[in-house]
Amino acid sequence: MKYVIGVDLGTSAVKVLLVDQNGTVTAQASEAYPLQQPAPGYNEQNPDDWVQGTLTAIQHLLATSGVTASEIEGLSYSGQMHGLVLLDAAGQVLRPAILWNDTRTTKQSEEIMAKMGPRFIEITRNRPLEGFTLPKILWVKENEPEIFAQAATFVLPKDYVRYRMTGQLNMELSDAAGTVLLDIAKKEWSREICAAFGLPLSLCPPLVEATTNVGTITAEFAQASGLCSQTAVFGGGADNACGAIGAGILHPDQAMCSIGTSGVILTYEPDTTTDYHGQLHFFNHAVPNSFYSMGVTLAAGYSLSWFKQTFAPDASFNDFVGSAATSTIGAHGLLFAPYIVGERTPYADAKIRGSFIGIDGKQERSDFVRAVLEGIVFSFKDILDIYAANGKNFKQLVSIGGGAKSPLWLQIQADIFNKDIVRLESEQGPGLGAAMLAAVGLGWFDSLSTCADHFIAVKKVYHPVAEHVAKYAQLHQIYQQIYPQTKGITGALLDYEEQQ
Ligand SMILES: Nc1ncnc2c1ncn2[C@@H]1O[C@H](COP(=O)(O)OP(=O)(O)O)[C@@H](O)[C@H]1O
Ligand SMILES: O=C(CO)[C@@H](O)[C@H](O)COP(=O)(O)O
């Protein structure tokens, strides 16, 4: 049998999947790594932790699967997006990576908009939000000039891991779109944006497509991991592009709901004609010559993980999430807004913070868990409403990511969205998508669509329950009042905290 490996470099952990030619996930392993939050709004990781985590997970995968390394023909990646990894001329990392959920860059984001305005959106098809890479580069240039002076190039998280595994330094296109330095229609670095912000074009690495064979595993990494140095390595994709591929989102009428650390509602865009005017993100897909749009809830799975870590660190995840079933729709009068690290969609606001509204002496911890699960999905509903306003009413959504492990959460999605929710055999859409890129890159299939027909299997469909739908519609209207009514209060608290 022949195999491929999909490496999904997430924010909470790296997950590696061993997939055979029939699309069966034969083995999987994962390795967690820490997130550093040195100041409010700051989120950093050590790029070497990603490499060591990937190495350990692959060692474990090989040890437990019984598959010999020479049977593994190809490997590719899915990567958390936007994270800035600055490298010097010798390829050494200059500072911790500044991640997608780091919001220190409000000033730089505003400066980009003030300088380029609508022209910036025309080129990149996105507003310059804090999470994207360009504002992070400008932050380092302004605040750490001695580090910036040493920077020869920059890459994104999975591109850095690929560099360490192959010795080849590139940036893959679907991820490059998330830097907002790319002219997404022309698929090339924007000279105009680089010039506007005094960045040399040489800072931007060579671009490769998702299914491009960039090389093979170095002798050093092969020896350390147990992989074979002949295994072909392919470009890979942004985690949401890979998640879409792994969920089979390959046509405009299909949509995905992903609950990882972040949360995403996404659809396939065949071309650049639909203009969301920067309200949604719009990036190159890892499917050649196509695009996708999406809205992002910054703290989706992260809100739940934070809540569990803070109030029930010893409970098992399944028991903790399952306890919400003992609560009610609306959690006995409790609502949660998941803005705990700021928000992106529909409110591009780095300063908003989360809330529990309606705390009552009768409520129990299970009500709070329920409110967290529901609040995250209400935030997704806000994104679906933007799609609906643009004429896109999907019949169903495919749900992926760690959150898709919970049947209760999947039913809540069906009831709040009033749509069918599809659960796949594997919730690891991004890892499967990465494996599919390697399978297509190797020529096992002539297209990602053909590969999807072989690799993706539905486990169960969750249908909305009319009585629940009506209650959630009423609650969503109340939820929508939280942002405008708490913005001033949470902003003042953040200012207070920053003065301490
Ligand atoms: N058993 C579970 N039920 C529901 N949600 C879960 C469960 N286990 C983990 N999660 C959620 O999944 C999230 C991690 O999902 P994952 O797709 O692995 O994220 P990432 O790719 O960002 O590392 C966690 O933040 C957590 O909230
Ligand atoms: O910033 C974005 C998308 O724009 C995030 O979706 C990151 O790509 C992180 O993904 P996860 O770790 O949540 O999968």
HEC-encoded secondary structure of 259-282: ECCCEEEEEEECCCCCCCCCCCEE
Q: Best mutation site among 321, 372, 399, 409 for ligand 1, i.e. most ligand atoms within 8 A of its Cβ?
A: 321
Q: Best mutation site among 50, 305, 306, 408 for ligand 1, i.e. most ligand atoms within 8 A of its Cβ?
A: 305
Given its phi and psi angles, is residue 349 left (phi above 0), alpha (psi -120 to 50 degrees) or beta?
A: beta
Residue type, 459: K
DSSP code of residue 96: P
Q: How far apart are CA 359 and CA 382, in angstroms?
A: 23
Judged by its nearest atom, the ligand closest to the C-alpha of residue 242 is 2
Q: How far apart are CA 400 and CA 296, in angstroms?
A: 14
Q: How far apart are CA 230 and CA 215, in angstroms?
A: 9
Q: How far is CA 63 from CA 77, 177, 225, 377, 434, in A?
A: 21, 37, 10, 38, 21
- Give pLDDT tens digits for 261-305: 999 999 999 999 998 988 999 999 999 999 999 999 999 999 999
Which residues sit in the known binding site for substrate? 81-82
> Which residues are the active-site residues?
239
The CA 259 to ligand 1 mean position distance, Å, reads 7
Q: How far apart are CA 454 and CA 459, in angstroms?
A: 15
Q: How far is CA 81 from the centre of its chain?
A: 6
Q: Best mutation site among 43, 78, 98, 100 for ligand 2, i.e. most ligand atoms within 8 A of its Cβ?
A: 100
Map out the domains of the chain with their CATH numbers. Answer: 3-240 (3.30.420.40)
- Give pLDDT tens digits for 249-260: 999 999 999 999
Which residues line the pocket of ligand 1, CB cutoff 6 A?
10-13, 260-261, 301-302, 304-305, 317-318, 321, 401-403, 405-406, 409
Residue type, 355: S
Confidence at residue 370, expressed as pLDDT on a 0 to 100 scale = 98
Confidence at residue 25, expressed as pLDDT on a 0 to 100 scale = 95
The CA 404 to ligand 1 mean position distance, Å, reads 8
Confidence at residue 498, expressed as pLDDT on a 0 to 100 scale = 85
Q: How far is CA 154 from the centre of its chain?
A: 19
Which positions of the chain have pLDDT values less than 50? none
Q: How far is CA 398 from CA 210, 246, 456, 466, 471, in A?
A: 22, 10, 11, 20, 23
Judged by its nearest atom, the ligand closest to the C-alpha of residue 262 is 2
pTM assigned to the model: 0.95
The CA 41 to ligand 2 mean position distance, Å, reads 16
Confidence at residue 186, expressed as pLDDT on a 0 to 100 scale = 96
DSSP code of residue 325: G
Per this entry, what is the length of the chain? 500
